[in-house]
Amino acid sequence: MPTVLKLIAGLGNPGPQYAHTRHNVGADWVRELARAFQIPLTLDTKFKAEIGRGSVLGRDVRLLIPVTYMNHSGDAIGAVAHFYKWSPEQILVAHDEVAFAPGTVRLKNGGGENGHNGLKSVRARLANQDGYNRLRIGVGHPGNKSQVNYYLTQQTPTQDERASVAAAGQLPDDILRDMLAGNWQSAMTALHTPEKHEAPSVANDAVTTGPIDQQQNSGESDGI
């Protein structure tokens, strides 16, 4: 039986200086989801997050945005999962992905973090289990790993790039409905269809192997 989603979390860094940066596209996606389905997000200091509960396409779900820095994202997600006794499979984490161009969005079940310290924190706080689901929102790569920190956390994307990323994140209801219901193969097939998106279907993602893994890796002290 499919495992329905109970928690959708979006990763980012807190504070106005990060509000429009590429590293915050996961948090932006969840905030837009909350707006679209009229789910108020309120600060819960116990969980170190903004959190709200409501109905998304008829499914009862909680939306969450950690208020810690990226490399401590798992504190909030782990605390909520532990409190409600949810398994990693009941969680979806939306985050930035340098392996994909802006405007490309992919789903992934489990697997490695490819140097993303937010995901490393999530895994650590889920008792080192990697079975949670990911919505990978492409932001592109600066071309040099030494520039990744600045590119993700300080450089403001162009208006066209932001529009492309936002448009890609507006998932059709049928895909979102499958995601909520845990019908991941159906959601992946629809989302990864070449006619609708730039890249071919990738089941559990061999795309992010090789040099890009190293390019993504940067220091936790920088909130990456």
Give domain limits for the chain: 7-222
**Kind of pairing between the strands at 7-10 and 91-97:** parallel
3 CB burial (10 A radius; 0-12, 13-18, 19+): middle
pLDDT of 114 reads: 79
Q: What distance in Å separates the CA atoms of residue 174 and residue 126, rounded to the nearest whole number?
A: 29
Start-to-end C-alpha separation, the chain = 36
Q: What is the pLDDT along the chain (224 residues), one digit of tens a residue?
A: 789 999 999 999 999 999 999 999 999 999 999 999 999 999 999 999 999 999 999 999 999 999 999 999 999 999 999 999 999 999 999 999 999 999 999 999 988 887 899 999 999 999 999 999 999 999 999 999 999 999 999 999 999 999 999 999 999 999 999 999 999 999 999 999 865 444 333 333 333 323 333 333 333 333 47
Q: What distance in Å separates the CA atoms of residue 73 and residue 223, rounded to the nearest whole number?
A: 10
Q: What distance in Å separates the CA atoms of residue 8 and residue 10, rounded to the nearest whole number?
A: 7
23 is catalytic: yes
Superfamily of domain 7-222: Peptidyl-tRNA hydrolase (3.40.50.1470)
Q: What distance in Å separates the CA atoms of residue 119 and residue 125, rounded to the nearest whole number?
A: 10
Catalytic residue (one of 20, 23, 95, 141): 23
Q: Of 179, 77, 91, whose CA–CA distance to 131 is shortest?
A: 91
Which stretches of the chain are DSSP H helices? Answer: 25-36, 73-84, 117-125, 148-153, 159-168, 173-181, 184-191, 211-216
